A = this chain, B = another copy of it.
Amino acid sequence: MSLEKSAEGGTGRPAPGRVEDVRRGNLIRILASMAEARTDPDTRPTRADLATRTGLTKASVSSLVAELLDAGLLAESGTTRDGERGRPGVGLELSTSRGVVGMEINVDYIAAGLLDLGGTLRIHRTLESSNRGQSPPSVMALLGGLVRDIAAEASAAGIEILGGGLAVPGLVDSASGTVASAPNLQWRGVGLQLEQLLPSAPFGLALYNEANCAALAELWYGHGLDFRDYLFISGEVGVGGGLVIGSELFAGPRGQAGEVGHVVVEPSGPDCSCGGHGCLEAFAGQEAVFSEAGIAPGAASVRLARLGEQLAAGDAAAVAAVSRAGHYLGIAAASTARLMNLSAVVLGGHFTPMGRWIRPALQRSLAEYAPGLISDARVEISELGQSAALLGAAGSSLRAVLAAPFTLTPAGR
C-alpha cells in the first residue's frame, strides 16, 4: 500500500486547479521550509523568518502556521530572544509529539524505530532473527511485536504515530505492498499485511527497497548533506543500489531502479541468480569477496570480521579480493555516471568496513574507465552502518507526511 495521497485524481491527470490548492501548496512550502531549517537547532524559525524564506506575506504565514499548529504538525517553542531590537518572535519547530515508524526486515535481523517530525530518532530496537527462508507471516508477526512495543513507548511519551515505512532487501511493488522478489529472504511474490502493523496511523504504511532507503538515509543523515546527485551502492549478500538525483530518489517507471548489482561488468563473467551473467554482484557480493579472499564459510558477520582482520594485517589475498571488487564497482559506477550524468558515488553495507582498501581501487577504476567524471573527493564511504535502511524508511514516511499536511487539516476535507 502506497501512502501517496497526492492532489492527483485517479486519472493520472492532475486534479483541477482550484483556489484551495494554492493553500495546500503553501502549507507544504511552510513545512518544507521548516524541514530545511532543521539543520540549525539553535535559532528556530519564527513566522517572520518563514515569510522571508518562502516569499509569502507575514499575514499568510500567520494563517498557515495557525492551521499547522492546529493539526499538530508544528509547535511553538517559546520566544526567541536574539538580543536585537524589536519584538522577539515565537520559535517554531516540527512537532516532536508526532512521529513515524521506520522498520526493516533483513536477513539476520529485524528492526524498528520511531522518528519524530523534527527528524530525531527517539526509539530504536533491533532484534536478531534468521529470516532467510522463514515464512513472511511469521516474520511479520515478529515485527508486529516490535512495532507494538514501540507504539506503547511512543504513547507513553505522548507521541502520536502518523505513518510508517518498511524496508526489505528485494524488489518491491510499493503500490500493492508486495515483495516481487527478495532472493536473500527466499521470498517471491509475497503480499505483506502492512495494515496490521499500524492500523490506526492516518498515513498508513509504505513498503520500500532497502538499498533505496539506505541511499536516502545517506542523503538526509550522511554525506548526502554535500551531495545532491550520486550513486549509492550497498553491499549485502547481494549488491543493491539507489540513485539520488537532485536530492530525490530516482525510482524508475515501476519503482525498481537502482539495481546496480546486475549491471554487466564482464561479458564473459559467471552466471548470476538473476538469470544473466557477468553481473557486478558476482565480483562484489559477499560470497565473491569472501571466497576470493580465502575466508572459510560461516556466518556473514564472522566472515566480515575475519576479512577486516586480514585486511588490517595486510593479507595479500584479502587485499586482492577487495581491490578486485573495487575495480568492478568502478566499471559499474563509470557506466552509471555516463548514463545518468552523476558525479559522486557512496559505498555502504559491507563495503563500509572495507572502505580504506576498496576506496582507492574504486578511484583507480573510475579514473581508468571514466576519467574526469567522478573526482576522488566524490567517492565516499557511508558511516551510517546498520541503521541506514531504517532511517531511510522512516525519513521517507516523514517526508510523505510533510508533503501532504492537508490530510490532517481542515483544507483536506
The listed residue (B60, B252, B331) touching A340 by CB distance below 8 A is B252
Min CB gap A9→B, angstroms: 7
Q: Which residues of B are found within 8 Å of A9, using beta-carbon distances?
A: 55
User: Closest B-chain residue to A275, C-beta based?
Assistant: B371
Near B by CB (< 8 A), chain A positions 298-335 give: 331-332, 334-335
Main secondary structure of the interface of A (DSSP, over half): loop
Q: Which residues of B are found within 8 Å of A13, using beta-carbon distances?
A: 29, 53-55
Q: Which residues of B are found within 8 Å of A336, using beta-carbon distances?
A: 339
A193 at interface by CB-CB < 8 Å: no
The listed residue (B15, B263, B265) touching A55 by CB distance below 8 A is B15
Cα separation A145 to B101 with both chains bound (whole Å): 64
User: Closest B-chain residue to A11, C-beta based?
Assistant: B55
Q: Are B264 and A342 in contact (CB under 8 A)?
A: no
A278 at interface by CB-CB < 8 Å: yes
Q: Given known contacts A17-B26, A267-B331, A369-B278, is B54 in contact with A258 (CB within 8 Å)?
A: no
The listed residue (B17, B276, B371) touching A368 by CB distance below 8 A is B276
The listed residue (B60, B253, B262, B341) touching A245 by CB distance below 8 A is B253
Q: Are A252 and B335 in contact (CB under 8 A)?
A: no
Cα separation A228 to B14 with both chains bound (whole Å): 18
Min CB gap A61→B, angstroms: 10
Q: Given known contacts A278-B369, A331-B267, A369-B276, is B262 in contact with A338 (CB within 8 Å)?
A: yes
Cα separation A336 to B251 with both chains bound (whole Å): 13
A243 at interface by CB-CB < 8 Å: yes
Scan A249-266; emit 1 where CB is below 8 A from any B CB, else 0: 011111111111011111
A195 at interface by CB-CB < 8 Å: no
Q: Are B257 and A341 in contact (CB under 8 A)?
A: yes
The listed residue (B22, B245, B266, B339) touching A259 by CB distance below 8 A is B339
Cα separation A381 to B397 with both chains bound (whole Å): 42
Min CB gap A253→B, angstroms: 4
A residues engaging B (CB < 8 A)? 9, 13-19, 21-23, 25-26, 29, 53-56, 60, 228-229, 241, 243, 245-246, 250-260, 262-267, 274-278, 331-332, 334-336, 338-343, 368-372
